Each structure stands twice: as C-alpha cells, then as structure tokens.
Amino acid sequence: MTAGSVRLPMPRFRLFSALASAAWAAYAIGLGRLGGATFAHSPLLGAGFGLALGMIMTAVYAAGRKPARELETAGRN
C-alpha cells in the first residue's frame, strides 16, 4: 500500500522487493547454518539460546521506545 501511495513505479518496486527477499533468505539460511553448526551437539540448547536472545532483543527495543502517550503529547505541541 505504501508503494502505491507514494506512486513508486512497479518495476522499481519489484526490483527492490526481489533484492530484499534475496537478502532476507540469505540471512535466514546463514543464521540457520551457523546455529546448526554451533549447536549440533544440543539442539535444545540452541532453541533456548534463540529464545533468550529474542527476549533480550525485545527488552532492549521496549526500553528504548517512547510510550504512545508521550508521542501523542509531543505531536500536539
């Protein structure tokens, strides 16, 4: 929807969409291969590490984010 609202030409959208898809796929495959090689001896440990890392990243994001109420009052000034 955003690409259409800013009138992004379809060929350009397709190009960048394809590039982003390829980059995401390479990242996911690389992460899976690295995790598989690192935690080959203990898949459960790998799953636990992934969950812990996800929770830490979420906490860091939430700590750095302004509450919605602050964003609303900042927009009124």
Q: What is the pLDDT of residue 56?
A: 96
In this structure, are residues 67 and 74 in contact, taking their beta carbons and an 8 Å threshold? no
Q: What is the pLDDT of residue 71?
A: 63
Distance of CA 71 to the CA centre of its chain: 23
Q: Is the pLDDT of residue 72 over 70?
A: no
Predicted TM-score of the model (pTM): 0.57
Scanning the structure block, which residue is given the tokens 């990242």?
27
Copy the structure tokens of residue 55: 């929770």
Q: What is the pLDDT of residue 8?
A: 84
- The predicted-structure confidence for 28-67, as pLDDT tens digits, reads as follows 999 889 988 999 999 999 999 989 999 999 999 999 887 7
Q: What is the pLDDT of residue 65?
A: 84
Query: DSSP for 2-28?
Result: HHHHTT--HHHHHHHHHHHHHHHHHHH
Secondary structure class of 66 (helix, strand, coil): coil
